[in-house]
Amino acid sequence: MTERYLVLPRGINVGPHNRVPMAQLRSKLEDAGYSAVATVLASGNVIVSAESDRPAEVGDAIRRLLSDEFDVNVACVARTARQVQGVLDRNPLREVVSNPSRYLVNFLSEAPDPEVVGALLAEDHSPEAIVIEGTEAYVWTPDGAKAMTLSYAYLERRLGVVATARNWNTIKKIAAKF
């Protein structure tokens, strides 16, 4: 069965390191057997169709391709098109968010330990707000990403999982490409 996936490499084309030309990436993905390959923005957001029913398997295969073909070693988190739409539908912080560019979704490699999540959520992170649902951590950072404490790196350390974040505007652009 063919499934549509979003693959989110962490840290591609952000700053001078881990540079990957999107046209070349699309070509290499097609050569590897993926179909309907698209990239969204230059930061490595990849949409592919694959003969797999396991997002983690697709994410890991693309991680290896990035390493083998571009010498870029980054974590990749994958979601099905249905899962991405679910993120948009849930939108648990819609009542507090006033600027979608400061509203981030951290896509986690797996659901973190519920006790660890509970401890994190019990803390005061003002003025930021966080909701963790399954494999997504929704973060509202009213003062902007540069001032935030609930960064993907912080969440990785606290939750013990891989995380990569995209802002709400980017997620909507990605979803429109499915």
Q: Is residue 86 part of a domain?
A: no
Same domain for 73 and 137, yes or no, is: no
Give residue 13's pLDDT: 72
16 with 80: CB under 8 angstroms? no
| pLDDT beneath 70, residues of the chain | none
Beta bridge partners of 35: 49
**The two three-digit tokens of residue 36, written as one number:** 């309907």
pLDDT of residue 31: 94
**What average pLDDT is seen over the chain?**
92
Residues 124 and 157 in one domain: yes
Report cis status (omega within 30 of 0) of the bond before 16: no
Please indicate, yes or no, if residue 135 is contained in any of the structural domains.
yes
Q: What pLDDT is stored for residue 108 in this prediction?
A: 97
**81, 102, 132: which is the final residue of a domain?**
81
DSSP state of 131: E
